[in-house]
Amino acid sequence: MSVRVSRLARLLNMVPYFLANPGISKEEAARELGVTVRDLVKDLEQLFVCGLPGYGPGDLIDLSFEEDVVSVVFSAGMDRPLRLTSAEATVLLVALRSLAEMPGMVDPTAAQGAIAKIESAVGSAALVANGEGLDASGASATAQESTVAATVRSALQRDHALRLTYYSASRDAVSERVVDPIRSLLVDDQTYLQAWCRQAEGVRLFRFDRIDGAVELDEPSVPPAQALGSDAHLELFSDDASLPQAHLRISAAHGWILDNYPMDPVQTLSDGSVEVTMRYGSLDWMARLLVGLGSAATVIGPKELVEAVRERARAALAAYDALEV
């Protein structure tokens, strides 16, 4: 009997289904799952890149479906239909809500649909007991997608170019540029658009919360072939030799700074402090950062940066003196 179910539920139960029906034909499987053969193949291709943490060749679900029949080579532990406990459903709901709140990663409507189905399957009573799923009024919370995120996601789906108005924190400047979107990424709990920047003629990462405006253009996204299929550009802070370089000393008690800023250690001194270098695009921005770090960072060079930090420090002290009058 043909039964239509959501794609998520179908994917979760496909591996046990094919284990129970070894060598079944694509046509028969599609008929029983209530989908077309084309959609079945899409589901199999999706499962082919799913698996266990590590996600290496030996961790992913392995299926054979090149011929007319489908068989499971490696199940990655999905040997029986999924049955979520209340605790498991809660963890899944928390993850889905987090994903829905990250701009540009998923369609919030689709995520909310999955959340609603899980809530319905598990039961609202179990979710209330775990303190998840309902707001103060008892209604399920709904994530709202920003106009910028929706525009970028639309351009990615339709392979269209984008015109972005973007704030660069490293240069402390707003610029407008046309980009060819490649994909959206999650890096260090922030969402980014990876795209070919026509102005810079290179792959760049654009943080969603720094995109001030986005316009989807009526022209195709055409990133060069060398920009695709490589993760070489995923480093957020590349060492651009054209930018000036600061020479700093970070105190031993403030080693956390090295984990939060793109600094390259040069040497560790006898007192535990570390000499580092750091590229910067704006002298004013860099001076503002260093003044904010206070005694945790000492500027060794270059000379213009030392003077800029001194001037900002003097201005700050003068402002304090004015307040005391």
State the Cα–Cα distance between residues 291 and 280, nearest whole angstrom: 15
- CA 8 to chain centroid: 21
Strand partners, 70: 24
CB-based contact 265:274 (threshold 8 Å): yes
In a domain, 178, yes or no: yes
State the Cα–Cα distance between residues 178 and 197, nearest whole angstrom: 6
Decide which of 227, 260, 280 is a domain's last residue: 227
CB-based contact 71:41 (threshold 8 Å): no
State the Cα–Cα distance between residues 303 and 244, nearest whole angstrom: 11
In a domain, 304, yes or no: yes
63 and 124 both lie in a single domain: no
The pTM of this model reads 0.44
Question: For tokens 């658009």, what's the residue?
Answer: 193
CATH code for the domain of 177: 2.30.30
Output the pLDDT for position 201.
Answer: 80
70 and 90 both lie in a single domain: no
Output the pLDDT for position 84.
Answer: 65
Q: What is the largest CA-CA distance in the chain?
A: 87
67 and 103 both lie in a single domain: no
Output the pLDDT for position 122.
Answer: 65
In a domain, 136, yes or no: no
Decide which of 171, 195, 227 is a domain's last residue: 227
Identify the domain containing residue 98 by its residue range.
86-129
CB-based contact 92:132 (threshold 8 Å): no
In a domain, 206, yes or no: yes
In a domain, 148, yes or no: no
61 and 92 both lie in a single domain: no
Number of other residues whose CB lies within 10 A of the CB of residue 42: 13
State the Cα–Cα distance between residues 248 and 1, nearest whole angstrom: 71
220 and 261 both lie in a single domain: no
Residue 309 or residue 129, greater confidence: 309
38 and 68 both lie in a single domain: yes
pLDDT tens per residue across span 87-103: 777 777 777 776 666 66
Q: Which of 8-12, 37-41, 151-155 has the lowest mean pLDDT?
A: 8-12
Number of other residues whose CB lies within 10 A of the CB of residue 278: 23
Amino acid identity at 307 = E
State the Cα–Cα distance between residues 24 and 70, nearest whole angstrom: 6
Backbone angles phi, psi at 66, to 5 degrees: -70, -40
**Strands of 160-168's sheet in order across:** 202-207, 190-197, 173-187, 160-168, 211-220
Number of domains present in the structure of the chain: 4
- Which residues make Cβ contacts (< 8 Å) with residue 13, sequence separation at least 6? 81, 82
**Strands of 274-279's sheet in order across:** 264-268, 274-279, 245-250, 297-301
For 283, the enclosing helix (H) or strand (E) is helix 283-293
Find out whether the peptide bond into 302 is cis, omega within 30 degrees of 0. Answer: yes
In a domain, 252, yes or no: yes
State the Cα–Cα distance between residues 206 and 221, nearest whole angstrom: 16
Q: What is the DSSP letter of 127?
A: H
pLDDT tens per residue across span 117-162: 777 766 644 444 444 444 433 334 445 667 888 888 888 888 899 9
Query: Nearest to residue 39, comparing CAs of 25, 21, 22, 26?
Result: 26
In a domain, 307, yes or no: yes
Q: Which of 41-55, 72-86, 233-247, 283-297 has the lowest mean pLDDT?
A: 233-247
**Taking the alpha carbons of 276, 279, 284, 289 in that order, is the dihedral positive or negative?**
negative
Joined tokens for residue 207? 């943080």
State the Cα–Cα distance between residues 40 and 27, nearest whole angstrom: 9
Residue 164 or residue 242, greater confidence: 164
In a domain, 236, yes or no: no
